[in-house]
Amino acid sequence: TPTPDEPLSGRRLTVRYGEFTALDGADVEVPPGRITAVVGPNGAGKSTLFHCLAGTVRRHSDMTGRVRFAGLDLTDRPAHARARLGVARTFQQLAVFPSLTVAENVAVGAEQGRVRDARTVGRVLALLGLDGPVRDRPAARLPTGTLRRVELGRALAGAPHVLLLDEPAAGLDTAEVTALAKVLRALAAEGTGLLIVEHDLDLVAHLADTVHVMTAGRIVASGPPDQILDALTPARADPTRGGPA
Ligand code: ADP
Ligand code: MG
């Protein structure tokens, strides 16, 4: 299957819970080969936007707007159908089967994705550093950082065109965040379109091509991180602080 060269796009996305508007007319694109980030305070609507793109908006909400990808209107398609079309996501509450091994968990992801290919499973395990002895251990009792890699592997095993990540760095130590950033950059370099919702502004500054800032359900600023994040965090704009190494 050729890689679509058009972005996953959300247009005028609006989600209401009764009288309350959680997301208010958001426009967002996730282009192939790019890392797009969404930042903003708690309650800004970041996860709601994520759920619109992933196909997991709660049923009791009232959603309007359109989600399109590869010439298709995905708006009314459920998450599993989007995954088959190459729009995958990771779960914050990890969707890992404790009794299955690391390799088996990743293989389950391949069953749910765009392609089913044992070679893809092998490549994903290697990419995530899960191809050592850990590959045959049951997922139960593995440390959080390892489980997060298994969860990412599950999403990648179906060879998605677009990968949606809600707070992928949550609970990771500095070394794990660095390793994650490397993996995400490698995926983008291969042409995968990435959307990350993230609290860690340093990670976003080093990783994202485009940043959207959300407040109270709206995207209030968009652009490259060096323009957008300096305005958010005065310390980062300090010229004596020095750039990234
Ligand atoms: P963020 O991810 O930026 O912290 P969310 O998208 O989770 O924000 O939430 C945006 C707003 O919508 C919050 O005020 C939250 O309380 C509200 N909200 C989210 N989910 C629901 C729901 N299922 N029912 C009612 N309100 C919700
Ligand atoms: Mg959230």
DSSP string, 185-235: HHHHHTT-EEEEE-S-HHHHHHH-SEEEEEETTEEEEEE-HHHHHHHH-GG
Residues 182 and 135: beta-carbon distance below 8 Å: no
pTM: 0.91
43: left (phi over 0), alpha (psi -120 to 50) or beta: left
Distance between CA atoms of residues 50 and 36, nearest Å: 12
Distance between CA atoms of residues 216 and 102, nearest Å: 39
- The pLDDT of residue 239 is 54
Tens digit of pLDDT for each residue in 39-90?
Answer: 999 999 999 999 999 999 877 779 999 999 999 999 999 999 999 999 999 9
Model ipTM? Answer: 0.97
- The pLDDT of residue 171 is 85
Domain regions of the chain by residue span:
1-6+20-86+161-236, 94-159
Nearest bound ligand to the CA of residue 22: 1
- The pLDDT of residue 13 is 97
| Residue with the larger pLDDT of the pair 2 and 197 | 197
Q: What is the mean pLDDT of residues 229-239?
A: 63
- Token digits for 212? 């959207």
Confidence of residue 119 (pLDDT cuts 50, 70, 90): confident
Pocket flag, ligand 1, residue 40 (CB < 6 Å): yes
165 Cα to the center of ligand 1, angstroms? 17
Pocket flag, ligand 1, residue 62 (CB < 6 Å): no
Q: What is the mean pLDDT of residues 150-166?
A: 95
Distance between CA atoms of residues 19 and 50, nearest Å: 21
Pocket flag, ligand 1, residue 125 (CB < 6 Å): no
Pocket flag, ligand 1, residue 43 (CB < 6 Å): yes
CATH topology of domain 1-6+20-86+161-236: Rossmann fold (3.40.50)
Residues 215 and 184: beta-carbon distance below 8 Å: no
Phi and psi (nearest 5°) for 51? -65, -35
**Closest among 198, 195, 112 to 159, alpha carbons compared:** 112
